[in-house]
A and B are shown apart, each in its own frame.
Chain A
Amino acid sequence: MRSGYFKEHYSGLVVLTDSPAVKAWVAALLVVLIAAPFLLGNFALSHLTIILFTVVGVLGLTVLTGFAGLISLGHVGFLMLGAYAYAIGVTRLGLPPELALVMSAVVPAFCGLLVGIPSLRLHGLYLAITTLAFSHIVSAAILAGGNFTGAGRGIMVPRPSILGFDLSSDRAFYWFCLIMCALAVLITLNLRRSSFGRALVALRDNDIAARTMGVNLMRYKLLAFLISAALTGIAGALMGIYMSIVSVEGFPFLLSIEALAIIIVGGLGSVLGAVLGAVFIVSLPEMFSALVQLLGGRLQDVMTSSAHEVKSVLYGLAIIGFLRFDPRGLRGIWHDIRHTWVFWPLRY
């Protein structure tokens, strides 16, 4: 329990956290995550890998919708662009994987700029539809691309070796995703705390007032789209490598909605919320599988087909229940837990 806020150097004010307890906990978490491949089975490890690259993608959406308040329904378009940029770069253009990975950030970023232009004129739901239209146009363009984009067949992506490290084993790929995720989290956290982040939040809360205070709307909106698209593009490339095949079918519209659900259930506008939301929503189907298996072996046998629908129903109900009963999201619950931990046995 601290009783004061004294800093001797400027660097002390800028650091991410000054509490030794927080630093220790984060270090412990990192150790567990790095050691995870040795502790977990194959299936759990792949589940964790999925969570990691989902977090990267969702952080992209957080920058746009959480910080800047620009609702995007078509974020799956950026995901697709990133995945295809990587796949085309590696298979068609013969680029080394590192460069292809950079391309998977640059190409969506450029398209993000294009999508951002309507955002200067449109607000709220109309902007959301523009992003939706964009994702449809991207998938149509890919399908019409003939052999270059693989059209309906998709492109097979082999596991690469990045900077000399071979990623073909599940473990190596997991560590790579962990590094990418950590980088994304650091970038987004620092973005939020910088003047750029503050400008975005001002944009979200009241854009006309922000303009009066000197925030250049056009510049910040376009930059928000750019950064968001780049982050999501990298997540798309990771997803493509994981699935070994990049196809339009693998990136349905549902993913956009899932990403929105993640940031809202987690707590809109915060990085921690995005991470917690991703863990929760990605693990939800598995939790329900386990629940259904526990509850009734015979029940599962008799309605094998319906059991899967039942899982969907529970998934939908979980989201509804969550939003109904705790609008602060998982982040709010986390803060409650942390508060109790810090102050126990006192109440405040």
Chain B
Amino acid sequence: MKLKLTQLAIGLLAAGVCLSAAAQQGVTDTEIVIGDIVPLTGPPALLGVAHNLGVKVAVAEVNAVGGINGRKVRLISEDDGYVPSRTIQGVRKLINSDKVFALTSVSGTAQAKAAMPLIMQSGLPAMAPITTYEGLYKPAIKNVFAVGYDMADAVDELVAKMAGRYPGKKWALISQDDDYGENVRTGFERAAKAKKLQVVSTQIYKKGQTDFSSEILKVRQAGAEALLAGGVLGENVAMVKELERIGHKIPVGVTYVSRVPASAKLMGTAGENVYTVDYVYLESSPQAKGFMDKLTKFLSPEELARTNRYSFTGYAATRALFDAMGRCGKALTWDCTNAELTKVSNLETGSMTPISFSATNHLAAPKLFLLKADPAAATYKTVE
């Protein structure tokens, strides 16, 4: 009895050792496995599911032409519900249990921060198209590549552009009490200082708040003539509708997180003076036509209804990853992929402005353009 147990134990240990001594994980002669960790449930699912669909389209597109160097790509998606502890668990599972070759997302800001030690330690290539906080790319991490615009910079540019259109106005800021809100505040302060804006009111609200009557009344009381609404989606809609209700029609700036069709529709008539900036092509623009066709080709109608700008960024980041992986040829390793990613230059994906990385710059900084909401068409249109 004792001998059998010892033999069993030794056998298990040996098997474990053998399995771990395998070649580069996630790559076989016929298949490459990649992982996606995003919020697929709860309110952030709006962006998580859309991103996931964008990645799926990239995978389907590359598999339709035989895969990368003859290897088909398989995607494993993990849901972290936008909770950092679940992100850690999910990333652990993807890297250690599912043995993926690369990650196509690292979820949101707090989530990425929590999982970053794991990702850095393992060294697998990781794309970050959803969050763009400074620590992600400054200093450049060997295996992490961000696609997007720094939220603080985006807010800075938005306020600057709006101040250019509406000079001499008194400004107000309403922002959230978390990381995202901090970024908004940083960007706003930078623009206010640069353009010497007169800021009459700054308020911070608790995440998850739905009613903004007191905040907007205070904005009017302070005499503000322009507002930067630093909410995510529903908050901005509520703020804009409150402005309409109390009859205080002033221009409002919102971040690109709000640039989904649902928000313009929800705002209705209140969204007449709403501005935002974005680097992702508008769904209705001629530049995005090719990508929209791809979405229709590879997704079912229900899935198509769930896409938004995050599908564009997910697709673009995955394309960049595949581009680098393709150049590595048959000898597909992490080191090679990371090196090739730094050589990505002006990659046109059809969903956003061209992507470039370099050895020192792991943020594909696209161009921003100003957009204004069009309530009648329930969408946004370019202004410049």
Contact = CB atoms under 8 A, between A and B. Distances in A.
B97 A41 contact: yes
Contacts of A247: 84, 110
A140 B177 CA distance: 10
Nearest to B48: A305
A154 B113 contact: yes
B83 A245 contact: no
Contact of A38 (B13, B40, B117, B180): B13
B114 interface: yes
Interface string A300-316: 00001100110010000
B35 interface: no
A156 interface: yes
Interface in B144-186: 176-182
A41 B85 contact: no
Contacts, number: 78
Interface string B6-28: 00000011001000000000000
Nearest to A47: B89
Given A153-B179, A304-B77, A308-B40, A42 B84 contact: no
B41 interface: yes
Contacts of B179: 152-154
Interface in A130-162: 140, 143, 151-154, 156
Q: Quick one: which of B41, B81, B180 has the most chain A CB within 10 A?
A: B41
B346 interface: no
B274 to A, nearest CB: 25
B15 to A, nearest CB: 11
Contact of B110 (A38, A50, A245): A245
A82 to B, nearest CB: 15
Given A42-B96, A243-B114, A249-B178, A305 B84 contact: no
A152 B178 contact: yes
A43 B40 contact: no
A305 B97 contact: no
Interface residues of A, number: 30
B96 A308 contact: no
Contacts of B79: 308
Interface centre among A47, A153, A252, by most B CB within 10 Å? A153
B126 interface: no
B234 to A, nearest CB: 18
A39 B13 CA distance: 7
Nearest to B49: A305
Interface in A269-323: 304-305, 308-309, 312
A308 B85 contact: no
B181 A152 contact: yes
A243 B113 contact: no
B40 A41 contact: no
Given A43-B93, A249-B83, A252-B83, A244 B117 contact: yes
A202 B92 CA distance: 46
10 contacts: A39-B12, A41-B16, A43-B89, A43-B93, A152-B180, A247-B110, A250-B83, A250-B85, A305-B306, A309-B41
Given A154-B113, A245-B114, A312-B41, 13 more contacts: A38-B13, A41-B96, A43-B92, A43-B97, A140-B206, A242-B88, A245-B110, A249-B83, A250-B114, A304-B52, A305-B41, A308-B79, A309-B41
Interface of A: 38-39, 41-43, 46-47, 50, 140, 143, 151-154, 156, 239, 242-245, 247-250, 252, 304-305, 308-309, 312
> Which are the 3 A-B pairs with shortest beta-carbon distances?
A152-B178, A42-B96, A308-B79
